[in-house]
Amino acid sequence: MSTISPLAPKVSVSLSPLAGVRLASHACGLRYQGRTDLMVAELAPGTTAAGVFTKSLTASAPVLWCREALAGGRGRLIVVNSGNANAFTGSAGVASVRRTVETAAKLLGCKAEEVFISSTGTIGVPLDDAKITQSLSEVLGKLSESGWSDAAKAILTTDTYPKMATRTAKIGGVEVRINGFCKGAGMIAPDMATMLAYVFTDAALPAPVLQALLSKGAETSFNAITVDSDTSTSDTLLAFATGKVSHPEVASVTDPLLRGFKKAFDDLLLDLALQVVKDGEGASKFVKITVTGAASARAAKKIGLAIANSPLVKTAVAGEDANWGRIVMAVGKAGEKADRDRLTIAIGGIDVAQNGQVVPGYDEAPVAAHMKGTDIVFDVDVGIGRGKATVWTCDLTHAYIDINGSYRT
Amino acid sequence: MSTISPLAPKVSVSLSPLAGVRLASHACGLRYQGRTDLMVAELAPGTTAAGVFTKSLTASAPVLWCREALAGGRGRLIVVNSGNANAFTGSAGVASVRRTVETAAKLLGCKAEEVFISSTGTIGVPLDDAKITQSLSEVLGKLSESGWSDAAKAILTTDTYPKMATRTAKIGGVEVRINGFCKGAGMIAPDMATMLAYVFTDAALPAPVLQALLSKGAETSFNAITVDSDTSTSDTLLAFATGKVSHPEVASVTDPLLRGFKKAFDDLLLDLALQVVKDGEGASKFVKITVTGAASARAAKKIGLAIANSPLVKTAVAGEDANWGRIVMAVGKAGEKADRDRLTIAIGGIDVAQNGQVVPGYDEAPVAAHMKGTDIVFDVDVGIGRGKATVWTCDLTHAYIDINGSYRT
């Protein structure tokens, strides 16, 4: 693991046991030396499952499998390896997934469709799945309720720190827990990275309810962050509810009983997602961009992402340059309605431009001071409607080029 | 002007006089010291005009004016300043354009709608147009048939070399000339840059014919290049036909008489556009990406631009890394149909991946050798249909971050 990101959370989180989940990690030697590269999580019988995946049209074999398996809405086992993405590996990759889930299902005594699999690492190199399948029975023998931290470490690639979060909430007065961990540093770096996240709760949630919560929560967390605009072939967010805690039955995602849980769940997803941004490759600054006044929430998000993904905005942030002209440019290129002459931009809470022009008597000094911090805040109102969205990103630095432009060949 | 780009054309072009066009340049002191920042081109009465502009929804006041003026289809004068983009300057910017075109029209004795104006430079700073209007009569007194090279220099911002091209063609056996020049280095850098291009011919072409030629030609030239995916608020491509050469009348854009002219015209547009890419901020390598087998030409272009704009692909090129996995990723994120298991990728003409997997016995050595050159070629077939497109870009280097991340404040 390289030097820890300067944006890493100052306090490290530890996850308490969660009824119905046991974890183990192992070193299979797929690529790395002297570290674990296999994580297995066993889920109690009856656990429901939900997932959100990459929109890439060249999705990896494990992603295709998870989508298929999810139709059953049940999960008994998660198997994740780092070091090899099993992406762009053709029919060999599909066969590799099939062998792994079938071996795992046999060992655990469950259906293949209850085994979820993720792979992260190099693209285009056939995965030596024998290293995984031959380790599985040993790994299953090591399952433990306290394996969270080791599990979170085993799935890392270019990450500089493990990413964990935990919350509690009440459903009908009964306390339930949510644990989650994830990995990701570039949106993708085919040599190494991708975004994977696993969320667990001991609440009893029907699969369609869990799926609705996850799909909605992902929109304002994992789908509202960007490091470099690049989309992985393997991005995977899975959620599981073991139902080990007895609470009043939840009928639907709109059930008022779920209100507190939903808030905690969304909060945990955002916590994990922001940990990914803060470990963005080469990141030295964390940027929060809120767009208001757009035609719709979707338009606001598109404008926000255009700002967040602009190399010129990102290099200006790296250079601590309060270059609001580049924000104007990015708003313009987003392709969503904006009123050039009603555009308002604030940096660090200080108005910079209003009604399409620089504010009268603009004093750049306090704005420049804000840009020297590590937490940068842009607020943009595009003056059209009531659509609002927040997205998060990091800056584009020399270190990003060092990490991604290094000689692989 | 900073160090000349290593990708700059080895032979410099000089433009011969073109009947019906006279040019002059001048130092107004808008921003720069010791260099010209105003270019004026006078066009003979009867000259037809066509234009293609930025798709930005925060387009600058000069772009809005040109779009309006173009309705008349005639041009008598072009006025271009560098140093200030007159963008995001609100109603003051609109008034500034109005004063400039009215002063120019009065001096030349033409309609305001026959005066085209462009501004490139800093965004958000009110343009002191008095410096331009007060210089205009002096500048008009300096107009010369041989002012091409000086004109091409006056419009530069972060460019490291002037960009000119010339072609001849025959219409009905009569030789006509096409001259053009342009500027641009980042797609935009609000401190300095934007893309402006001016093309002139002495052929007699009705405005709708010229517009059709320009719109179509732009798609495979200026609209097929990218430096950093960022879109200027001011991008402008204008074409003028003075009609000073007598040749058989051209009825429409599909007139067979135009065949040779069209080829020369497209070739000149591409020549100019590629000079922009080769002066891309921080560029050390020039990248040609051809996508075939897509659902349509539009889909092929979108996939090509997704590859060309991927920071991970661009940093890999900078690092001379034959990282084809990143090309796969970019194809996947483009959102256009691609058959993952029929995808074929060649680098430098050497097959790297076929049918969705690395080629059997892949030898990276010749591919790595190609990556060490300055002209990089990617060919990608996505295995769906017959759509084809070529796009051009440059790499993403430390110098790009130095140029764009430098302290402005």
CATH number at residue B64: 3.60.70.12
In a shared domain, residues B258 and B367: no
Question: In the structure encoding, which two tokens stand for residue B260, read together?
Answer: 């040779």
Give the whole-angstrom CA distance, residue B108 versus residue A254.
Answer: 70
Write the residue in A92, A233, A338 that is nearest to B328 by C-beta: A233
In sequence order, the 6+-apart residues with CB closer than 8 A to the CB of A45 are A76
Residues of chain B with pLDDT under 50: 1, 188-192, 409
Question: In the structure encoding, which two tokens stand for residue A254, read together?
Answer: 């709109």
Residue B205 confidence (pLDDT): 96
Write the residue in B228, B325, B343 that is nearest to A312 by C-beta: B228
In a shared domain, residues B260 and B303: no
The number of folded domains in chain A is 2
Q: How confident is the model at residue A321 (pLDDT cuts 50, 70, 90)?
A: very high
Predicted-complex ipTM score: 0.80
Give the whole-angstrom CA distance, residue B244 versus residue B44.
Answer: 8
In a shared domain, residues B270 and B296: no
Residues in chain A with CB shorter than 8 Å from the CB of B283 are: none
Distances (CA, A) of A64 to A11, A94, A200, B176: 36, 9, 22, 58
Residue A371 confidence (pLDDT): 96
Instruction: Locate all alpha helices (DSSP H) within B81-194, ordered by sequence.
Output: 90-108, 130-140, 148-154
In a shared domain, residues A259 and A363: no
Minimum distance, in Å, between the CA of residue A399 and any CA atom of chain B: 9
| Nearest residue to A301 (alpha-carbon basis) of A238, A382, A197 | A382
Chain B interface includes A189 (CB < 8 A): yes
Residue B293 confidence (pLDDT): 97
In a shared domain, residues A164 and A273: yes
Of B227, B242, B277, which marks where a domain is finished? Answer: B277
Is A369 buried (19+), middle (13-18) or exposed (0-12) by CB count in 10 A? Answer: middle
In a shared domain, residues B292 and B176: no
In a shared domain, residues B176 and B242: yes
Percentage of residues in chain A with pLDDT exceeding 90? 72
Question: In the structure encoding, which two tokens stand for residue A352, read together?
Answer: 């910079």
Chain A interface includes B348 (CB < 8 A): no
Residues in chain B with CB shorter than 8 Å from the CB of A312 are: 186, 188-190, 228, 230, 404
In a shared domain, residues B204 and B303: no
The answer to whether residue B219 is domain-embedded is yes
Residue B218 confidence (pLDDT): 92
What is the per-residue pLDDT across A89-109, written as a single tens digit (0 to 9) for each? 888 999 999 999 999 999 999
CATH number of domain containing B351: 3.10.20.340
The answer to whether residue A10 is domain-embedded is no
- Is position B194 annotated as part of the catalytic site? yes
The answer to whether residue A35 is domain-embedded is yes
The answer to whether residue A15 is domain-embedded is no
Of B253, B277, B301, which marks where a domain is finished? Answer: B277
| pLDDT of A332 strictly over 50 | yes
Query: A339 in helix, strand or coil?
Result: coil
What is the per-residue pLDDT across A23-75, written as a single tens digit (0 to 9) for each? 999 999 998 889 999 999 999 999 999 999 988 888 889 999 999 999 999 99
Residue B188 confidence (pLDDT): 46
The answer to whether residue A393 is domain-embedded is yes
Residue A172 confidence (pLDDT): 94
What is the per-residue pLDDT across A311-320, written as a single tens digit (0 to 9) for each? 889 999 999 9
Give the whole-angstrom CA distance, residue A186 versus residue A387.
Answer: 28
Residue B192 confidence (pLDDT): 43
Residues in chain A with CB shorter than 8 Å from the CB of B281 are: none
pTM above 0.95, yes or no: no
Chain B interface includes A342 (CB < 8 A): no
Mean pLDDT of chain A: 91
In a shared domain, residues A241 and A303: no
In a shared domain, residues B235 and B329: no
The answer to whether residue B16 is domain-embedded is no
Residue type, B33: Q
Of B250, B277, B304, which marks where a domain is finished? Answer: B277
What H or E segment, with its residue span, contains residue A346? strand A344-347
Query: Rounded mean pLDDT of A365-374?
Result: 96
What is the per-residue pLDDT across A129-187, written as a single tens digit (0 to 9) for each? 999 999 999 999 999 999 999 999 999 988 899 999 999 999 999 999 999 999 987 65
- Residues 35..64 of A with a Cβ closer than 8 Å to B: which? 54-59
Would you give the DSSP letter of residue A70?
Answer: G
Write the residue in A59, A88, A336 that is nearest to B325 by C-beta: A88
Q: B120, B160, B194, B242: which is the annotated catalytic residue?
A: B194
Residue B409 confidence (pLDDT): 42
The answer to whether residue A293 is domain-embedded is yes
The answer to whether residue B360 is domain-embedded is yes
In a shared domain, residues B253 and B339: no
Phi, psi of A366 (to 5 degrees): -65, -30
In a shared domain, residues A69 and A138: yes
Question: In the structure encoding, which two tokens stand for residue B382, read together?
Answer: 């996505």
Domain limits for position B192: 21-277
